[in-house]
Amino acid sequence: MGLSQDQVRRYGRQLLLPEFGVRGQERLLRASALLIGMGGLGSPAALYLAAAGVGRLGLLDSEPVEAGNLHRQVLHDTQAIGRSKVDSAQARLRALNPAIEVVALRERLEASNALRVLESYDLVLDGSDNMPTRYLANDACVLLGKPLVHGAAIRLQGQVLTILPRRSACLRCVFPEPPQAGELPSCQAEGVLGSVTGLIGALMAHEALKLLGGFGTPLADRLLTFDGIASGWREVPVRRDPQCAVCGDHVQTSDIRRIVHAAAAV
Amino acid sequence: MAITVRIPTPLQRLTNGQGEVQCDGKTVAELLGDLERRHPGVKERICDETGKLRRFVNVFVNEEDIRFMQGDQTAIKDGDEVSIIPAIAGGAS
Ligand SMILES: [Zn+2]
């Protein structure tokens, strides 16, 4: 396909990377990614993916921008308060890189729309704020065979895990059952620092760029955790559980479909 | 020598801000008991009322998930490292 002069100028610094190069860039330009949540994690992740030239980005969020978002949700500016997050994000990303396609999806991920929404993308990044959505994204990605980059942050800590369906540990392999509502603290109640969501979101973008650009080793089967008190990264090995309810050895497609639909009840 | 326990960030408030503490025990269950004696309040964040590990908390002994070993009866010895890793929901809004 070859790159235009504009593209060579814009992406020159990453074209210089031998691991990435023209081949990686061409792959990115043809690739698509869906971001669930345009908040603290989705903001930096979307900025880096758009800037790097991922051909089509889907942005999924049903909420409007609030003043209390701005300390960490760096996609949105003060004037965007009250506007829908996906519209604000779309405008910002189009201004950053007019050559890519940015699709604004003003909805929540639900059992009823998950498969339809995720189907047309090569990869999914989950930066949502609640466990039912996270398990739904996980289950739908396993069902569809889509790589999923899972990232989470609260207070001064964060986690990232890349999930290659049926090949590496999924969210349910690591944490088999979703916690009940209120069983886990929320950022709304417990707070979070923007630099922590920034680190985790940027790492999520990095994982996506590796998979879409076709280089490096995915952060699969390794749960990477960040401790923002000492500023340390640690990883623990995780593995696919052959008994996993969604990606286990004997699970049928119809079983996962049932689990995805059951998620609607949560 | 003792067993090193890595404390997740949110629980470090209960361990005087320490990310690692030393504890003793022959099994993970004993270790968690000792951890609670030294740092009251930690165990209830890791285990439910019946003393069972909460389902969104994983415990690793030397980087192996105890769910794939003998659960809280997994044997441990001096010099081992135990990590406590909770799930995190947080992200967007
Ligand atoms: Zn699984």
- What would the DSSP string read from start to end of A77-110? -GGGTTSBHHHHHHHHHHHH-TTSEEEEE-S---
Distance from the alpha carbon of residue A168 to the mean position of ligand 1, in angstroms: 8
Using the Cβ of A117 and the Cβ atoms of chain B, whether some distance falls under 8 Å is answered with: no
pLDDT higher than threshold 80 for residue B89: no
Residue A147: the pLDDT is 98
Residue A183: the pLDDT is 64
Residue A254: the pLDDT is 84
Contact A129 B60 (CB under 8 A): no
- Closest Cβ–Cβ partner in B55, B83, B89 for A236: B83
List domains and CATH numbers for chain B: 3-86 (3.10.20.30)
Q: Where are the beta strands (DSSP E) in A121-262?
A: 123-126, 148-154, 157-163, 222-227, 232-237
A173 phi/psi in degrees, rounded to 5: -65, -35
Query: For residue A41, how far is the Cα from the chain centroid?
Result: 8
- List, for residues A42-67, the tens digit of each pLDDT value: 999 999 999 999 999 999 999 999 99
Distance from the alpha carbon of residue A101 to the mean position of ligand 1, in angstroms: 32
Residue B93: the pLDDT is 43
pLDDT tens for the 266 residues of chain A, in order: 689 999 999 999 999 999 999 999 999 999 999 999 999 999 999 999 999 999 999 999 999 999 999 999 999 999 999 999 999 999 999 999 999 999 999 999 999 999 999 999 999 999 998 888 999 999 999 999 999 999 999 889 999 999 999 999 999 999 988 777 666 666 667 789 999 999 999 999 999 999 999 999 999 999 999 999 999 999 999 999 999 999 999 888 888 888 787 765 44
Contact B88 A152 (CB under 8 A): yes
| CA atoms of A137 and A147, how far apart (whole Å) | 11
CA distance B82 to chain A (A): 11
Residue A3 to residues A11, A21, A142, B66, Cα–Cα distance (Å): 10, 11, 34, 51
List domains and CATH numbers for chain A: 14-261 (3.40.50.720)
Contact B89 A184 (CB under 8 A): yes
Helix or strand holding residue B59 (H, E): strand B57-61
pTM: 0.92
| CA atoms of A236 and B65, how far apart (whole Å) | 9
Helix or strand holding residue A56 (H, E): strand A56-60
CB contacts of A176 in chain B (<8 Å) are 55
Q: How close are the terminal C-alpha atoms of chain A, in Å?
A: 46
Using the Cβ of B4 and the Cβ atoms of chain A, whether some distance falls under 8 Å is answered with: no
Optimal mutation site among A71, A227, A244, interface B, most CBs of chain B within 10 A: A227
Using the Cβ of B63 and the Cβ atoms of chain A, whether some distance falls under 8 Å is answered with: yes
Distance from the alpha carbon of residue B41 to the mean position of ligand 1, in angstroms: 32
- List, for residues B3-51, the tens digit of each pLDDT value: 999 998 888 889 998 999 999 999 999 999 999 999 999 998 889 888 8
Contact B12 A229 (CB under 8 A): yes
Region class of A174: left (phi > 0), else alpha (psi between -120 and 50), else beta? alpha
DSSP code, position A223? E
CA distance A139 to chain B (A): 16
- List, for residues B47-87, the tens digit of each pLDDT value: 988 888 888 899 999 989 999 899 999 999 999 999 999 88
Residue A95: the pLDDT is 98
Complex ipTM, two decimals?
Answer: 0.81
